Chains A and B, each alone.
Chain A
Amino acid sequence: MGGAWFDYTVNGFVIGNIYALLAVGLALIYGVANLVNFAHGSVYVVGAYVGWAAITYLGTPLPVTLLCVVVVSALVGVGIERIGLRPLHGSSRIAPLLATIGIALVLDQVVQLLFTPDPRAVPMQVPEWRIAIGGGTVGALDLLIAGIGLISAVVLYGFLRFTKLGWAVRATAQDSDAAQQMGVDVNRVNMAVFAIASALSGVSGVLVGMYYNQISTAMSFEATLKGIVALIIGGLGNVPGAIAGSLILGLTESYGIALFGTSYRNLFAFVLLIAMLVWRPNGLFAARRSLPPEPMTGTFIARSRPVVVPRWAVVAVIALAALLPLAGQPYVLQIGANSLMYAMLALSLTLVAGTVGQVSLGHAALLAIGGYASGLLAMDAGWPVALSIPMAGLVTAALGTLLVFPAFRLTGHYVSIATLGIGEIVALVILNWTGLTRGAIGLGGIPPLEVFGLDLGSVEGTYWLCLAVLVLLALLQLRLLRSHLGRTWRAIRDDPVAARSYGVSGDRYKALAFGFGGFAAGISGAITAHAYSYINHETFGASISILALTMVILGGLGNVLGAVLGATLLIALPEAFRFLAEYRILIYGIVLLLLIRFRPQGLMGTV
């Protein structure tokens, strides 16, 4: 058995080695721009395909291949900085984060359209010899990847420490306004950093492609996710730390497989992520144990004047919406019902992210909890649907609050990453807790929507039910926001220190917000489960969390009407773009980028 542990250790290092190339670039960008770059994995895919095209069509040898990849990826990085970062300078901190998500969507689609979604084999350009270590082998490519990871870290360290541009980069990282005053061209620095980081990401894409002899357009999200986890373990913005963090992540996954089996691999990675955030938010290698004072506190969310909509207009829109089923357009109605279900989710997120300032990237987990709670209550415990749905809301409120509780002391980006991790953990627990959730098989035959014998399974029924529930939840939320509770929530968001010194316990009020938000999201998940009749761990995936956040930011953080508008637009737009066929998600991404660019405070303004 001793031999096996040695093998697990070697394997952990081998995979950690691959994560390191991603994490170093992410760390560099975070260090300078204070931004978690969600487009990083997409650049990695771009690099992989550029390398593949160079080898396949031009027959380039390895150094030339790498050169092509470096040049193209660096240009893409410059583009990301130019589109996603620079124009948004001075708007909210959340806008660039969202812009990188939009850019990722666009890049992935462009690559898919150019190269088709078929996976490709990348010809190996590195000698194939292997050395036996323990029970396994390590090849030349493993060593090359390790070498590039290490060398780039050392070169970066030297660059940051000993060159003029490097000083400028570090000065910009510490205080970009002061750096600008001292004559540093901050834009040029940012551009250089994005170019370097993206070149690194592109190179890792093509090397990993050779390593597995396979590239596909679907690998970008996984790459981003793993890079971010490694980054947190090493400490945000810490380049050498990122390498160590990647190796630790690789080892954790490998030992997780060794102890519990392959299906637990990612569960371990994300539990490690949460543990790090709670106990050592600066990463393993930071001397300080407390969080650095985030420059973004209080400014994470843009100030703006919300659009005032007169009460009669709102009433008129609700009345029109209630009459929509009479128009006899079931397809439109189905889109309406989908929008309403998502609007409930957006209500929940806009409260948590906008009003309280805890920007959650794992909100889909609340849908999953609600869906499974209601489905299991109705199927296994025989509850009527009319009772199982509100009960699912309560269960979600309780479980959701409990799960996020460890993240309450975090602020800004840390909350987003912690909730992203919690979301993944919930999905993986659902997958692995076969006894309760039936694992990957999922819940089939969930009873249709009905209220005490009244069948609501038709599209009209579903729509009216969703509309009624949404109006009730929205009124309740508006009422809460106008009460002293709403004021307290906003106080915690705007200045937690001042709030505390006035005797407001941040944690309890955050828990109240997550409780109410969990209730709304749980109801949404429950209704969805009954409408779909079948759910499994994939039904409420990470992409839904990101979609929900996009809705909320698009509508205006904290804005109840904005959340409903954002949900309606983002559900309806991809349907409206159907005539564009393969191009519709690309166009959707571009529209999203334009909206962020020209209205970063959201359509209805933040509250």
Chain B
Amino acid sequence: MIPLRRRSLFAGLVAGAAATRRAAAAETVHVGVSGPLTGPNAQYGAQWKDAFDLALAEVNPTAQRQIQYVFEDSQSDPRQAVAIAQKFVNDPRIVMELGDFSSPASMAASPIYQRAKLVQFGFTNSHPDFTKGGDYMWSNSISQAEEQPGLADYAIAGLGKRRLGVIHLNTDWGVTSKNLFAAAAKEKGAEVTAAEGFLPGERDFRSTLVRIRDSNPDCIVLLAYYADAATIVRQIRTLGLPQAIVAVSSVYSPKLLELGGEAVNGVHVITTFFPDEPRPEVQRFVNAFRARYNREPDTFNATAYDTMILASTLVNQYGATRAAVREGLAKVRGVPSVVFGTMQFDPNTRRVEGARYKRLVVKDGRFTLWS
């Protein structure tokens, strides 16, 4: 444990030193990151860092303009996120901002970025209003309007289920997802028999599952993150519920297998990122991640990696100023992406469309393509 942490600290220092040495030859460009490194969401900030370092190790050596990121810990707390925003917008080195993690923190800081004309790029911000904060709010977060019909299709057309019991996280993301899912399911001729919202941090789902069971579904749909999903699936199985389980892409994580154990066998998941996919972007990312960190990457890693690659592409193609980054986002086409294949933005919604969904099922403790 301790050696690992120390190693990453040293790695950071060494990388930093190397970057300054190279800076003599090429130009160094700074992006600001506002995200949780302490507090209840700290695990996600740690995942971002790993993916950022990996992406930069890949693109910086050959790039004309090399990116260095300044990570400020916000604990995903709006009060600290606005202070960080003020820090970044008044730091002339910063040409683009990435984050924050949660909607309350990100959207509280949006007015400051918008006023200062610094791009706030939210890569975990699926809240439908995030990019409505202004024309400097951009996001490559997977659109739930796209994902939920895909999920409903997996359950209804793929598995032939008609009665769906939904368990969702009771947050802005979870409620948005649930509403979109219910609409898609209805359109495809299925019925949502029950929709139960749970608070982050809850561990006991037994009574929730009795409610779901008594609504008599033939399939249970999970709109949650992987850690909660593992707990829910275990309790579904210990209660002896036989229904098929279908889950949203944020459940796809090697951690699901670790935390869920044998219980997660047979769980169906859709995902935008799947390490066994033969596409070269995916294989390059997965192999590099395994080699560097000696573990499997997940969707959060993949999104953060994509984002840093995008940042590098923007400053190298369009210039290292705030205005150039903003212009570049509207123009850029075909940025290689693990999640999307290639990324381009709709200048009106300031979001990316066309995520590619894979249908997976857990078999013998491994994610495999479902057919």
A535 and B239: CB pair below 8 A?
A: no
For chain A residues 153-196, which have a beta carbon within 8 Å of chain B? Answer: none
Q: Which residue of A lies closest to B38 (CB)?
A: A585
Is B211's CB within 8 Å of the partner chain A? yes
Q: Which residue of B lies closest to A214 (CB)?
A: B259
Residues of A within 8 A of B79 (CB): 338, 571
Residues of B within 8 A of A330 (CB): 86, 89-90
Q: Could you pull out 25 A-B pairs where Cβ atoms are within 8 angstroms?
A: A1-B214, A8-B210, A12-B207, A18-B204, A117-B46, A136-B210, A213-B260, A214-B203, A258-B211, A262-B196, A263-B196, A263-B197, A330-B86, A331-B86, A333-B86, A338-B79, A431-B170, A440-B171, A442-B104, A445-B133, A458-B115, A539-B104, A575-B80, A578-B72, A585-B75
Residues of B within 8 A of A448 (CB): 111
Q: A117-B46, A442-B172 are in contact. Are A213 and B73 (CB under 8 A)?
A: no
- C-alpha spacing A235/B85, complex, angstroms: 47
B213 and A135: CB pair below 8 A?
A: yes
Is B148's CB within 8 Å of the partner chain A? no
B210 and A135: CB pair below 8 A?
A: yes
Is A266's CB within 8 Å of the partner chain B? yes
Residues of A within 8 A of B117 (CB): none
Is B230's CB within 8 Å of the partner chain A? yes
A117 and B107: CB pair below 8 A?
A: no
For chain A residues 37-85, which have a beta carbon within 8 Å of chain B? Answer: none
Is A137's CB within 8 Å of the partner chain B? yes
Residues of A within 8 A of B204 (CB): 11, 14-15, 18, 253
- C-alpha spacing A123/B211, complex, angstroms: 29
**Which secondary structure dominates chain B's binding surface?**
helix
Residues of A within 8 A of B369 (CB): none
Q: Which residue of A lies closest to B204 (CB)?
A: A15
Q: Which residue of B lies closest to A533 (CB)?
A: B111
Q: Which residue of A lies closest to B88 (CB)?
A: A331
- C-alpha spacing A571/B78, complex, angstroms: 13
Residues of A within 8 A of B82 (CB): 334, 338, 531-532
Is B220's CB within 8 Å of the partner chain A? no
- C-alpha spacing A584/B83, complex, angstroms: 16
A457 and B111: CB pair below 8 A?
A: yes
Q: Which residue of B lies closest to A259 (CB)?
A: B211
Q: Which residue of B lies closest to A577 (CB)?
A: B73
Q: Which residue of B lies closest to A208 (CB)?
A: B203
* Chain B positions 107 through 145: 1 when the CB is less than 8 Å from some CB of chain A, otherwise 0: 110111001000000000001010011000000000000
- C-alpha spacing A329/B127, complex, angstroms: 32
Is B258's CB within 8 Å of the partner chain A? yes
A11 and B207: CB pair below 8 A?
A: yes
Q: A257-B208, A331-B86, A582-B37 are in contact. Are A116 and B46 (CB under 8 A)?
A: yes
B230 and A213: CB pair below 8 A?
A: yes
Q: Which residue of B lies closest to A543 (CB)?
A: B77
Q: Which residue of A lies closest to B76 (CB)?
A: A538
- C-alpha spacing A137/B238, complex, angstroms: 6
B174 and A533: CB pair below 8 A?
A: no
Q: Which residue of B lies closest to A56 (CB)?
A: B1
A445 and B132: CB pair below 8 A?
A: yes
Residues of B within 8 A of A532 (CB): 78, 82, 104, 107-108, 111
- C-alpha spacing A581/B102, complex, angstroms: 20
Instruction: Give the distance to chain A from B257, nearest Cβ to Cβ, in Å.
Output: 9
Is A380's CB within 8 Å of the partner chain B? no
Instruction: Give the distance to chain B from A344, nearest Cβ to Cβ, in Å.
Output: 14
For chain A residues 306-347, which have a beta carbon within 8 Å of chain B? Answer: 329-331, 333-335, 338
Is A454's CB within 8 Å of the partner chain B? no
Is B234's CB within 8 Å of the partner chain A? yes
A263 and B170: CB pair below 8 A?
A: yes
Is A451's CB within 8 Å of the partner chain B? no
B203 and A442: CB pair below 8 A?
A: no
For chain B residues 199-244, which have a beta carbon within 8 Å of chain A? Answer: 199, 201-204, 206-208, 210-211, 213-214, 227, 230-231, 234, 238-240
A582 and B108: CB pair below 8 A?
A: no
A533 and B86: CB pair below 8 A?
A: no
- C-alpha spacing A305/B121, complex, angstroms: 52
B39 and A585: CB pair below 8 A?
A: yes
Residues of B within 8 A of A217 (CB): 42
Is A472's CB within 8 Å of the partner chain B? no
- C-alpha spacing A556/B14, complex, angstroms: 46
Residues of A within 8 A of B107 (CB): 444, 532-534
Q: Residues of A at under 8 Å CB distance from B?
A: 1, 4, 7-8, 11-12, 14-15, 18, 109, 112-119, 121, 130, 132, 135-137, 139, 208, 212-214, 216-219, 222, 253-254, 257-258, 261-263, 265-266, 329-331, 333-335, 338, 431, 439-442, 444-445, 448, 457-459, 531-536, 538-539, 571, 574-575, 578, 581-582, 584-585
Q: Which residue of B lies closest to A113 (CB)?
A: B5
B104 and A538: CB pair below 8 A?
A: yes
Interface centre among B83, B175, B201, B202 (most CB of A within 10 A): B83
* Residue from A118, A135, A459, A574 within 8 A of B239 (CB atoms): A135
Residues of B within 8 A of A333 (CB): 86
Residues of B within 8 A of A216 (CB): 43, 227
Residues of B within 8 A of A441 (CB): 127, 172, 175-176
Q: A213-B261, A261-B196, A582-B73 are in contact. Are A457 and B234 (CB under 8 A)?
A: no
A574 and B80: CB pair below 8 A?
A: yes
Q: A116-B5, A582-B38 are in contact. Are A536 and B198 (CB under 8 A)?
A: no
A121 and B42: CB pair below 8 A?
A: no
* Residue from B46, B83, B171, B199 within 8 A of A118 (CB atoms): B46
Residues of B within 8 A of A222 (CB): 201
- C-alpha spacing A217/B199, complex, angstroms: 17
Residues of A within 8 A of B102 (CB): 538
Residues of A within 8 A of B258 (CB): 121
* Residue from B40, B108, B207 within 8 A of A8 (CB atoms): B207
- C-alpha spacing A263/B37, complex, angstroms: 28
- C-alpha spacing A334/B39, complex, angstroms: 22
* Residue from A11, A119, A536, A581 within 8 A of B210 (CB atoms): A11
Residues of B within 8 A of A112 (CB): 38, 42
Is B188's CB within 8 Å of the partner chain A? no
A14 and B78: CB pair below 8 A?
A: no
Instruction: Give the distance to chain B from A222, nearest Cβ to Cβ, in Å.
Output: 5
Q: List 7 A-B pairs, minimum CB-CB distance, nearest first.
A: A534-B107, A532-B108, A117-B42, A334-B86, A444-B129, A11-B206, A218-B40
Residues of B within 8 A of A538 (CB): 102, 104, 171
Q: A119-B255, A534-B107 are in contact. Are A214 and B227 (CB under 8 A)?
A: yes
Residues of B within 8 A of A335 (CB): 83
Is B290's CB within 8 Å of the partner chain A? no
Q: A536-B172, A581-B73 are in contact. Are A117 and B197 (CB under 8 A)?
A: no
